[in-house]
Amino acid sequence: MSYRTRLKIGEFSQLMQVTVKTLRHYEQKGLLLPDEVDEWTGYRYYTLDQMQRLNSIRDLQRLGFSLDEIKELYEEDSHDPTVNQLTRKIKETERQLRILIERRNQLLNWRDARNEIKNMKKFSIQSLPEIIVASHREVIPNYQAIGTMCCQVIGPEMQRLGCKCPPPGYCFTVEHNTEYKPTDVDIEYCEQVEEMGQDSAIIQFKRLPAVPTALCMKHYGPYDRFHESYTELFRYLEGTSYRIVGPIRCCYVDGIWNQEDPEKWLSIIQVPVENGE
């Protein structure tokens, strides 16, 4: 008489390298039932057939089939997917692959942009490409209210409008006051988006032309200390042949949304210039 493998659930779990919790989940879904359940002790016993079936389930899962799809295959008394099912799974895998490639490219762009900022000298000359922005202009109480305006007003409205922002993200403000005012600051916030949208009472969309040459300067610290960086920037400008030809942008890289310490906030002051020689 030949020997018939008969394993308790713990033994089966150990040999097949799968948790007891997973085995019970498979059983609840009707996907992998024990060969026998002792009516007195409740012990579950597994045999070679369950080993083979578990391996088959794992193979199908690795190929992207869900547990419900696998169960359907077994209910149809076919352990192998049909050509049509494989074709659908191939198309689904190709779609997921495109999404993953796009995600990888976005992450690479984000990482490279962060590295560029990290390695950027305090002053640099850059070109700013043509972009589409979602714009919001408002008179705010003071400079510190910029963060509140972004988080409580602009962000929710952009989300409501379905705005998509290309990574790593580019946002900046432009002041419209003709003189310095510590309060009642007339400021415009712009954030790059992928496409023109429908204007609302809060957000207007517009296309900004490219800036061929911009003098860029890093600013670390809260926004009410921009004047210190402006002083240094204009001192730097006086030693060059550049002259300002457009509104100054304050681009926000790190702020209250990801840095609690204001001393770690990083902004980039971008000044459109042209060579006066």
Structure confidence by residue, pLDDT tens digits, 21-46: 999 999 898 888 888 888 888 888 88
Classify residue 221 by its DSSP letter.
S
Tell whether 180 is covered by a domain.
yes
Question: For residue 245, is pLDDT > 50?
Answer: yes
By the 8 A CB rule, do 123 and 274 touch?
A: no
Mean pLDDT estimate for the chain: 86
Shared-domain flag, residues 19 and 146: no
CATH number of the domain within which 211 lies: 3.20.80.10
For residue 235, is it within any domain? yes
Whether residue 161 sits in one domain with residue 32: no
Structurally, the chain folds into a number of domains equal to 3
Q: Looking at the structure, do residues 97 and 39 belong to the same domain, yes or no?
A: no
Q: Same domain, yes or no, for 170 and 107?
A: no
CB distance 260 to 217 below 8 Å? no
Q: What is the mean pLDDT of residues 257-271?
A: 86
For residue 265, being part of any structural domain is answered with: yes
Are 185 and 259 within 8 A, CB to CB?
A: no
Q: How confident is the model at residue 1 (pLDDT cuts 50, 70, 90)?
A: very low
pLDDT of 10 above 80 = yes
User: Does 69 lie in the same domain as 136?
Assistant: no
pLDDT at 206 over 80: yes
Return d(Cα 57, Cα 25) in angstroms, integer: 13
Nearest partner of 49 among 74, 68, 66, judged by Cα: 74
Distance CA 139, CA 184 (A): 5
Q: Which domain holds residue 102?
A: 84-119
Residue range 127-134: mean pLDDT, rounded: 93
User: Do residues 230 and 248 both lie within one domain?
Assistant: yes
Question: Does residue 1 form part of some domain?
Answer: no
Residue 2 lies in a domain: no
29 and 105 housed in the same domain: no
Q: How confident is the model at residue 200 (pLDDT cuts 50, 70, 90)?
A: very high
* Burial (CB count within 10 angstroms: exposed 0-12, middle 13-18, buried 19+), residue 54: buried
76 and 197 assigned to the same domain: no
191 in a domain, yes or no?
yes
Looking at 100, 119, 138, the residue that finishes a domain is 119
pLDDT tens for each residue of 148-178: 888 888 989 999 999 998 887 888 888 887 7
Q: What is the mean pLDDT of residues 77-93?
A: 82
Please indicate, yes or no, whether residues 28 and 135 belong to a single structural domain of this protein: no
Same domain, 220 and 242: yes
> Can you give the CATH number for the domain in which 16 is found?
1.10.1660.10
Q: Are 142 and 175 part of one and the same domain?
A: yes
User: Do 181 and 48 fall within a single domain?
Assistant: no
- In tens, the pLDDT along 188-198 reads 999 999 999 99
Q: Determine the pLDDT at residue 71.
A: 86
Name the DSSP class of 143: T
> What are the residues facing 81 on neighbouring strands?
none
